Amino acid sequence: MKTHITKLLHLYPLLALLVVVGCSDDLGKRPFVPAAGYSCVVTLSVPKEGIVGQWIPLKASLTNGPWVQVRQRDVAEGAVAWPTQPPAIEPEVAASLTWFTQPPGVARFNVATLSSAQNDQLGRQVVFSQPGVYKIWGVSAYPTMSTTTVETITIRAKP
């Protein structure tokens, strides 16, 4: 049951994107689409080291653009388009990313609770179950699928 819920949560950003993009009637007469040279990049800020069983804070920012405004009839079928221009810089997006590690299965990412969201709405954390050197990255589906930096973190055994 838990793995099914986890899989659904990983798909949530992509499903949200498809729902919004699929609603072309709500785009208005002059929606925004990615312009020539467009990119969407997630940049991570992750500690270089951690300890098994201790929560590690994750931070991430997102930059995207440029965007161009076009007539709605010029938006290609299946293209990403938004009624307003998405923000070019989002300084903290860790909570909205889908996170991955390599190798998989050794990390657990927190899910916001009512209490944690009141303290830090944008925060995200990870805990590793065993020592090792791991790759970690996060992917965004908004405003388009992103590329991402991949960070390396060394997890040490408890002292």
pLDDT in tens, 79-89: 999 999 999 99
From the options 2.70.98, 2.40.50, 2.60.40, 1.10.8, give the CATH code of 2-156.
2.60.40
The DSSP code sequence of 76-143 is PTT---BSSPPPSEES--GGGSEEEEESTTSEEE----HHHHHH-TT-EEEEESS-EEEEEEEE--SS
Q: What pLDDT digit, counting tens, does each position of 27-73 carry?
A: 889 999 999 999 999 999 999 999 999 999 999 999 999 999 999 99
